[in-house]
Amino acid sequence: MGSDTTSRRGFIGAAGAAAAVGASLPSAAEAAGRQDAGAFKLDYAPHFGMFNAVSGDDRLDQIRYAHDQGFRSWEDNGMPGRSPEEQTRIGDELRRLGMRMGVFVSEADFGNETFVLPFDRQRDRLKKKMEDAIEVAGRCGARWTTVVPGRYSQRLAPDFQTANCIDNLRFCAEILEPHDIVMVLEPLNRRDHPGLFLTGVPQAYQICRAVGSPSCRILDDLYHQQITEGNLIPYMDAAWSEIDYIQVGDNPGRREPTTGEIDYRNIFRHLHGRNFKGIVGMEHGMSRGGREGVERLVAAYRECDDFRD
């Protein structure tokens, strides 16, 4: 989970995307190299492994290259697996550049029932997870941490599972809230991750409203929700009060915007029109490898960010 060369679920950059993809994009070399373009209208956050074909493998060099291209945030699902010294080094560099740290994953057990179980069976484990998250966030300067509430139970009635999940999340929120840290719940699609409890934005909305804490919000990953439910903008609007973080990836393929069916220019326009000040995490792979892939990635975000309100 969260290696330097791939994002959380092991994306592999596919060489040779169809020529029609991004035919309307600006010159890739121009978009990737333009130093005068400045920051984007929205706050997009790349991750380690996206730019290293150009920047090199040093993590701080990757962050610096992203800043040069206009990106002002960063995310790293695997941050808890790095040494405390590395976490601090990354956080210090982000602060020096005036960049924000986005999400890291503090809890995501894809193989077991966790949050759906009664609170007394989870208390000690969750307490340790949240205390660890506070320490990681302090070192790297993060405010958000991703939580995936595990698998659903085939033994408990669904409503009991929801009640247990709410109790467990409320306990976690009480630990995080004094530190101004927000756990963002990420619904994941059933096709890629069968058997998980949390799958949709309406379900996440219901749970966050019941928890009733500013430290329990929704991470709306539009790649997952395009597969699970579609209706991206209406569901986003309906759950707006509980959404604190956005992630993107086109479908099919889970690569950069302009490679699939999602109209990200329109979605980014909508987010901007709603005055969204949060982070838009780039949790996807790349359609091409090497320098060409880096240039295509930057060009795609420049095009989709070039909207008029």
* Predicted confidence (pLDDT) per residue in 251-264, tens digit: 999 999 999 999 99
Q: Is the pLDDT of residue 229 over 80?
A: yes
Dist CA 69 CA 56 (whole Å): 15
pLDDT band at 1 (very low <50, low <70, confident <90, very high): very low
Alpha helices in 2-142 (DSSP H): 28-33, 52-55, 59-68, 84-97, 123-140
CA 199 and chain centroid, separation: 15
Report the pLDDT averaged over residues 52-61.
98
Q: What pLDDT sits at residue 309?
A: 77
Q: What pLDDT sits at residue 37?
A: 52
Write down the domain spans for the chain.
Answer: 30-304
* Predicted confidence (pLDDT) per residue in 103-130, tens digit: 999 999 999 999 999 999 899 999 999 9
Whole-model pTM over 0.85: yes
Dist CA 295 CA 32 (whole Å): 5
Within a 10 A sphere around the Cβ of 128, how many other Cβ atoms? 10
* Predicted confidence (pLDDT) per residue in 264-288, tens digit: 999 999 999 999 999 999 999 999 9
Q: Is the pLDDT of residue 155 over 90?
A: yes
Within a 10 A sphere around the Cβ of 27, how many other Cβ atoms? 11
The residues, any chain, with a CB within 8 Å of residue 69's CB and separated by 6 or more, are 32, 37, 51, 298
- CA angle 173–177–180, rounded 5-degree value: 130
CATH number of the domain at 30-304, out of 3.30.300.30, 1.20.120.160, 3.20.20.150, 3.40.50.720? 3.20.20.150
Report the pLDDT averaged over residues 70-88.
98
